[in-house]
Amino acid sequence: MSPCWVARCSTRPRGAIASATLGDDGSDGMLAAWQADDEPQPGAVKIDPRCIDADGDAAWASLVLAPRGTWLLFDDVAVSHAIRSVLAGPPVDVVSTFVTGDDRFVGAITAVHDDEPTRLRDDPFAAIFPTCLVRVGPGLLGRTPTPVGPMTQRYGAANPWPWDRFPEARA
Amino acid sequence: MNADLVPGRHLPDFRLPDHVGNQRSLSDLAGGDPMLLHFYRGWWCPKEQAYFRKLLQLQDEAEVAYTRFVSVSVDTAEESAAFRAGLGARWTFLSDHERRCVHELGLLETTDRSHNPFVPTVLVLEPDLRIHAAFNGYWFWGRPTNEELRQAFRTITRSIRSDWEVPAR
């Protein structure tokens, strides 16, 4: 299966499998998703494909994004600690790290299909890179199964966390 | 203990709510990894508290070893979530508060008429829910040591990872 990507855009781009407005009145542009082997457009990042649902409801999201040109190795201690905090912490509806290349952590998305962003107050990934709380319109975010735990590793070097199995896993 | 819960047999793919309240199936929880399936009496039992402290030590290894832990009791989802948070456990807890699974698996501890809990049981499962090892923890020393669990995980991992021997260039 091709990787899943997301990127902020001003309008829904061609080839996107899902997209949603950002901001209360859509004034913050859009977030769009693709399924593609290669980066579909500059600035796109890889996301756990289970987060994406073209029929998904509106959500509040804590969007953590590395400043342009900045990244951490995915195995950096700070990233591991944040993942442990996610596993130990209260439940959310959507969670995925963002990855570029094979091993670059460039942010994360944590989201809840709630009317208020109360459950996003303590996003562990917000300790790593700047975050913004944003209203995501319908049409993009589904629900990620709560990670089983205690695994903090990725299933394959180029994949985000918490994708949950190797492609050739024995059934 | 249920005579069907022995190495070589397959566990039924049951579904239970997790500590968040979502219905989870055992096969989904296993994914493609070895899994520790741990049935425990409940948050209130001192033996369980002692054994969880052992599993917490193993958690720091399992988190990098493509291995999954799931703990099951008759506690409610809320009790399970609180117990999990208090322990600092970073794995999934399932709630069989309706006691459907405990009867289906034949694991009801009949000597405790107050809590009607699971007989403490630890199963080490292969990804297809085949039982690799089974431990009867009714008496505390019947539970597996962390070293016994490591050996079991090693054996399963060696059998399921085609690249266990480092691939040649």
Asked if residues A98 and A160 have their Cβ atoms less than 8 Å apart, the reply is yes
Q: Is the pLDDT of residue B168 over 90?
A: no
Using 50, 70 and 90 to split pLDDT, how confident is the model at B169?
confident
Distances (CA, A) of B33 to A139, A169, B165: 32, 8, 18
Report chain B residues whose CB lies below 8 A from the CB of A170: 32, 127-128, 160
Is the ipTM higher than 0.90? The answer is no
Residue contact B22–A146, C-beta within 8 A: yes
Q: What is the CA radius of gyration of chain B?
A: 16
Where along chain A do its domains lie? 4-136
Report chain B residues whose CB lies below 8 A from the CB of A91: 20
Backbone angles phi, psi at A116, to 5 degrees: -125, 155
Residue whose C-alpha is closest to residue A162's, from A109, A96, A98: A96
Q: Is A165 on the interface with B (CB under 8 A)?
A: yes
Cα A96 to Cα A74: distance, rounded to the nearest angstrom: 13
Note the pLDDT tens digit of each residue in B115-144.
999 999 999 999 999 999 999 999 999 999
Using 50, 70 and 90 to split pLDDT, how confident is the model at B1?
low
Mean pLDDT of A2-11: 91
Q: Is the pLDDT of residue A107 over 50?
A: yes
How high does pLDDT run on average in chain A?
Answer: 92
Note the pLDDT tens digit of each residue in A131-141.
999 999 999 99
Which amino acid would we find at residue A30? Answer: M
Cα A141 to Cα B148: distance, rounded to the nearest angstrom: 42
Residue contact B32–A150, C-beta within 8 A: no
Cα A47 to Cα A42: distance, rounded to the nearest angstrom: 15
Region of B41 (left: φ > 0; alpha: ψ -120 to 50; beta: rest) is alpha
Asked if residues B116 and B99 have their Cβ atoms less than 8 Å apart, the reply is yes
The shortest C-alpha distance from B116 to chain A (Å) reads 27
Size of interface A-B (CB pairs under 8 A): 71
Domains (range + CATH), chain B: 30-160 (3.40.30.10)
How high does pLDDT run on average in chain B?
Answer: 95
Those residues whose C-beta lies under 8 Å from the C-beta of residue B86, and which sit 6 or more positions away, are none
DSSP string, A87-143: HHS---SEEEEEEETTTEEEEEEEEE-SSS-GGGTT-GGGGTS-EEEEEEPSSSB--
Longest dimension (CA), chain A: 46
Q: Is B15 on the interface with A (CB under 8 A)?
A: no
Using 50, 70 and 90 to split pLDDT, how confident is the model at A170?
very low
